[in-house]
Chains A and B, each alone.
Chain A
């Protein structure tokens, strides 16, 4: 299965600032997915990112708040913009590989 390197693993940020999360995959994949896991909650899909096209956002998530880049088949970034304490969550990227869905180790974000 694919191996994903996700950075940073955790961060504490000031409200009003932005954080960019990176995911690097060890093989080429068509789609990458970004999820949010709020404290004590399950995972919710933010958006699906295809290489060379605009990301597709789920209901309740907008590009201005969560811009995504997908410059090639092995890399993607998610930016959490103009952060507020409500954005404190774990953010995970995921890809579909032959074995199923593989997840990055997550970015634990705390906004103060």
Chain B
């Protein structure tokens, strides 16, 4: 069964510092990977996704992520964090290739809460 691990429950960075959020996945085939952000009281917003091709993907709000098959990782990065980036971040793997009833299922990691200090 597919699974996602986000090792860091809570990360604190200073505004302007660089950021890397870790994500490791377990999936039997080529994974479809996503990063979502959830601000307090808000829904989920897609930051970026990886389906195939270039392993470095660019997203919204200046975020990028790199898919590393050998490490089963899809870490999210941002070179300079803004106070408005404070939120919870979820990595997810999509079961887009499966047949039957599990088609399209998304499995989420536990989330990483990002706090930004001024």
Q: Which of B36, B92, B101, B110 has the most CB of A within 10 A?
A: B101
Closest B residue, CB atoms, query A108: B41
A-B contacts counted at CB < 8 A amount to: 51
Q: Are B43 and A33 in contact (CB under 8 A)?
A: no
Question: Of residues 52 to 110 in B, which have CB atoms within 8 Å of A's CB atoms?
Answer: 90, 92, 94, 96, 101-110
Q: Are A94 and B105 in contact (CB under 8 A)?
A: no
Q: Are A101 and B110 in contact (CB under 8 A)?
A: no
For the complex, is B34 an interface residue (Cβ under 8 Å from A)?
A: yes
Q: Are B104 and A100 in contact (CB under 8 A)?
A: no
Question: Of residues 93 to 111 in A, which have CB atoms within 8 Å of B's CB atoms?
Answer: 94, 96, 99-106, 108
State A16–B90 Cα separation when bound (angstroms).
Answer: 33
Instruction: Please count how many residues in chain A sit with their CB below 8 Å of the partner chain's CB atoms.
Output: 22
Q: Are B43 and A48 in contact (CB under 8 A)?
A: no
Query: DSSP majority for the A interface?
Result: strand
Residues of chain A with a CB closer than 8 A to B107's CB: 45
Interface residue from B42, B94, B101 paired with A101 (Cβ < 8 Å): B94
Interface residue from B41, B46, B96, B108 paired with A42 (Cβ < 8 Å): B108
Q: Do A42 and B110 contact each other (CB < 8 Å), given the known contacts A103-B43, A105-B43?
A: yes
For the complex, is B31 an interface residue (Cβ under 8 Å from A)?
A: no
State A45–B94 Cα separation when bound (angstroms).
Answer: 12
Chain B, interface size category, equals 20 to 34
Residues of chain B with a CB closer than 8 A to A106's CB: 43
A56 to chain B minimum Cβ distance, whole angstroms, is: 4
Q: Are B90 and A96 in contact (CB under 8 A)?
A: no
Q: Are A99 and B106 in contact (CB under 8 A)?
A: no
Residues of B that sit less than 8 Å from A by CB: 34, 36, 41-44, 46, 49, 90, 92, 94, 96, 101-111
Residues of A that sit less than 8 Å from B by CB: 1, 31, 33, 41-45, 48, 56, 92, 94, 96, 99-106, 108
24 sample A-B contacts, Cβ–Cβ < 8 Å, listed by A number? A41-B110, A42-B90, A42-B108, A42-B109, A42-B110, A43-B108, A45-B105, A48-B102, A48-B103, A48-B104, A48-B105, A56-B101, A92-B43, A99-B46, A100-B34, A100-B46, A100-B94, A101-B46, A101-B94, A101-B106, A103-B36, A103-B43, A105-B42, A106-B43
